[in-house]
Amino acid sequence: MTFLSILCALLLEQMKPLRADNPIYANIKLFAVRMETWFNAGHASHGRIGWFLMMAALMVPTALVYWVLLRYNLILGAFAWNVLIVYLTLGFRHYSHYFTSIQLALNAGDEAAARALLAEWTRQDTVGLETNEIARIAVEKALITTHRNVFGVFFWFLLPLGPAAAVMYRVSEYLARAWNEPDHMRNEAFGQFAAKAFYWIDWIPARLTAVAFAIVGNFEDAIYAWRNFAHRWRDEAIGIILAAGGGAMGVRLGTPQENAAKMVPADAATVDISDVEVETLPGDEPSVRALQSTVGLVWRALLLWMLLLLLMSGAMALG
């Protein structure tokens, strides 16, 4: 049932993608705002209470419906519920139009349009970015978005809690952003628990995504970049995914100087800092071709996940 649920949800999303501004997401965002308003009194413990209450309010009904359907042997109903939840929690096509449009704009030499699309997608200043910088940021955004909207959901959906766990993953990812990234929430204690909770919830999925990228890409370079350069990113999970993804494609991702390891001679005390050699990430500078490579990497990784899931489902059926 698990394999067929994911397959049907993927096919459904390809035919009718769920808009990112759909009413269900809008209500969850409104719920998160209200929870922050009700519980944020400046202490981290309040954020913990708000997080658990919001999770319970969304996960318990999801799990209860699934349990009732199975309890009364309504297999088709349980299957339809699984497909619906996976469809709602997946986001494979939510933002793919941005990536495709940026690729088309760069292929046409329209950097201005590509910058505008990238700014709308990432919500950051893109004025003055060159083609390679536009390509780099688009590739990074695509890899992270795919992980959090597809592969992370897959992992948690496969666990015993099934649809409730998929809901937990997507909502925890959203709360980690919504309660920490907005200007009025930065340096607020309220969002600390949400960020820490998602770190642990995403710990295994992030590494499985990196492994998948390595298997379907350049394995040696992906593992080398992961082991030696992932620590440069402030966010460990992002560092692992981008280092492995970039290595798998032979593309240099990330800000080159971010937490860069420096090759310092033994007599470093007498060496001018400007003479210190900075060890750079392996791979070529991102170009327009890197966008196409990203599409191929993501689809191969998706097929790998589906193949493994099919094998697991077959083994369970035979057992």
Average pLDDT in the 130-134 region?
A: 90
Query: How many CB atoms sit inside 10 A of residue 51's CB?
Result: 25
| For the chain, percent of residues with pLDDT exceeding 90 | 61
Q: What is the DSSP string of 149-192?
A: IIIHHHHHHTSTTTHHHHHHHHHHHHHHHHTTSSGGGTT-GGGH
pLDDT at position 125 is: 87
Average pLDDT in the 232-255 region?
A: 90
Phi/psi zone of residue 73: left (φ > 0), alpha (ψ -120 to 50 degrees), beta?
left
How many whole angstroms separate alpha carbon 122 and alpha carbon 187? 21
pLDDT at position 269 is: 44
Neighbouring residues of 268: CB distance < 8 A, sequence distance ≥ 6: 276
How many whole angstroms separate alpha carbon 26 and alpha carbon 171? 12
pLDDT at position 239 is: 92
Residue type for 96, please? S
Average pLDDT in the 209-227 region?
A: 94
294-305 pLDDT, tens digit per residue, is: 999 999 999 999
Q: Report which DSSP code applies to 284.
A: B
Q: State whether residue 135 is helix, strand or coil.
A: helix
Asked whether the beta carbons of 56 and 167 are under 8 A apart, the reply is no
Residue type for 280, please? T
| For the chain, percent of residues with pLDDT exceeding 70 | 90
Give residue 183's pLDDT band: very low, low, confident or very high (50, 70, 90).
Answer: confident
pLDDT at position 310 is: 87
253-271 pLDDT, tens digit per residue, is: 876 445 444 333 334 444 4
Nearest residue to 3 via CA among 158, 115, 118: 158
92, pLDDT greater than 80: no
pLDDT at position 282 is: 67
How many whole angstroms separate alpha carbon 262 and alpha carbon 255? 15
How many whole angstroms separate alpha carbon 146 and alpha carbon 188? 28
H or E, element range at 134: helix 131-146
Q: How many helices (H) and strands (E) does the chain have?
A: 14, 2
Give residue 232's pLDDT band: very low, low, confident or very high (50, 70, 90).
Answer: confident
Asked whether the beta carbons of 134 and 118 are under 8 A apart, the reply is yes
Tokens of 64: 């209860």
Average pLDDT in the 56-69 region?
A: 96
158-180 pLDDT, tens digit per residue, is: 988 899 999 999 999 999 999 99
272-290 pLDDT, tens digit per residue, is: 434 434 456 667 788 889 9
How confident is the prediction for the chain on average, in pLDDT? 87
Tell me the C-alpha to C-alpha distance, in Å, between residue 33 and each of 174, 181, 185: 12, 13, 11
Residue 134, judged by CB atoms within 10 A of its CB (0-12, 13-18, 19+), counts as buried
Tokens of 273: 């800092």
How many whole angstroms separate alpha carbon 280 and alpha carbon 276? 12
Neighbouring residues of 84: CB distance < 8 A, sequence distance ≥ 6: none
